[in-house]
Amino acid sequence: MVDLENTLFMLPGPVKIHPRVLRVMSMPALPHRSPEFSKINEEIRDLLRYAFQVDDDYHVAVFSGSGTSGLEAVISGILNKEDSVLCIINGKFGERLYEICNIYANAHPLEIPWGQAPTLDAVEEIIEKYEVTAIALCHNETSTGMTNPAEEIGRIAKEHDLIYILDGITSVGGIELYPKEWGVDAIVLGSQKCLAAPAGLAAVAISDRAYQRIGEGRTYYLDLKKHIDKIEKGDTPYTPAIPLFLAFKEALLMLKEEGIEKRWERNKMLATMLRSAVKALGLQLFPEEKFASNTVTAIRYPKGIEDKEFRGILKEELGVIVAGGQSIVKGKIFRIGHMGICSEVDIMATISAIEYALLRLGYEFEAGAGVGEAIKVLSTWRMHNEQGMQKV
């Protein structure tokens, strides 16, 4: 059995958690209706605006549930059966967004092959055909390792005055993103992704015009308005997952201390290192490279390398944990998360481990080539970086 406390944990969420974040969860019982917890809620509220890069004209809320709960809260809150919503599907999480929209509104899918970006023409076409009132887009597709062109689609949404909903579960805090400038009305994050907090919380930011639209009584536990109005006063509608709130606050603080631009830059650098290694090893990215994500990298298996065996060697022989493919790409790709507090040496170690597994499985390549390329990329990056000798 693998010692899960002595591994290199490289999933695209949950991700490695900092000891400082883990430690706050060991606090003895804390009453959630207390001035002490109110203060924590208020701090979370303010730090969330920083993480989402929004001002007071956006409303925020936290849900004790997974990222999916945040998506449902948003969609059930601001859309209704009168709405005609365009859902772009090019991965598993675009699919999920569509499934949720389908319950609360009239959803119109724009299906494109996984790993490819939608053309703006196709988006326009559906908008006109179905008199669309809203767009729902998965910003960063964890299932394919690609980032959708959220800014460009936002421009279309603005032109047509559409409600624009973004699943930012693996982008917020990891990938450059400006909700207001991009015309985003609702955006959702998951605690266990770019913030590197434990799994179990979702958070959302809602534009004021979306807030004004919130209908009542469509759901209960995930009631968007109640959650927004309560956290504004430092409270929660129901019992929150108390230790997770404590950890979430600490992780949000760590993001602020690092600086979100620095974290975006770090994730981008890690992604660039990894992509350069992929090429040097003669492997292929799954998505179009132009749209390759900075927080998760999906790599196609070369001929003859079997998923279970490959990931088995990484886990059992080296204690390195990466993800396989989901749904239609199961067995065809593997995925590496490099968001949150993932470091340069974590990436170097991961590349070394991948090389080791490929060697074990008889793949032909020059051992060390991937790591060699990655350290060259990092070295060049640092030389051209104004942070100079410091870790970014």
Binding site for its own copies (CB under 8 A): 2, 5-6, 8, 18-20, 26, 312-313, 316-320, 341, 343-346, 348-349, 351-353, 355-356, 359-360, 366-376, 378-379, 382, 389-391
Cβ proximity to its own copies: between 75 and 377 the closer is: 377
DSSP letters for 95-141: HHHHHHHHHHSEEEEEE--TT-PPPHHHHHHHHHHTT--EEEEESEE
**Burial of residue 215, with CB atoms counted within 10 A of its CB: 0-12 exposed, 13-18 middle, 19 or more buried:** middle
Quick check: 163 and 213 in contact, CB under 8 A?
Answer: yes
What is the torsional sign of CA 283, 287, 290, 292?
negative
Cβ proximity to its own copies: between 52 and 334 the closer is: 334
Cβ proximity to its own copies: between 234 and 372 the closer is: 372
CB of residue 82 to its own copies, shortest distance in Å: 49
56 vs 363: CA distance, rounded Å:
54
Q: Cis omega (within 30 of 0) on the bond before 14? A: yes
Beta pairing, strands 186-190 & 163-167 = parallel
Q: Which residues pair with 166 in a beta bridge?
A: 137, 187
CB of residue 368 to its own copies, shortest distance in Å: 2
CB of residue 232 to its own copies, shortest distance in Å: 33
CB of residue 312 to its own copies, shortest distance in Å: 8
Quick check: 128 and 86 in contact, CB under 8 A?
Answer: no
Contacts of 269 (CB under 8 A, 6+ apart): 344, 378, 381, 392
Cβ proximity to its own copies: between 217 and 389 the closer is: 389
CB of residue 26 to its own copies, shortest distance in Å: 7
For 154-174, b/e burial (b = at least 16 CB within 10 A) is bebbeebebbbbbbbbbbbbb
Cβ proximity to its own copies: between 175 and 353 the closer is: 353
Cβ proximity to its own copies: between 26 and 239 the closer is: 26
Cβ proximity to its own copies: between 327 and 380 the closer is: 380
CB of residue 343 to its own copies, shortest distance in Å: 6
CB of residue 306 to its own copies, shortest distance in Å: 14
Distance set, CA 389 to CA 97, 213, 259, 382, 386 (Å) = 42, 49, 17, 7, 9
CB of residue 80 to its own copies, shortest distance in Å: 45
Cβ proximity to its own copies: between 180 and 315 the closer is: 315
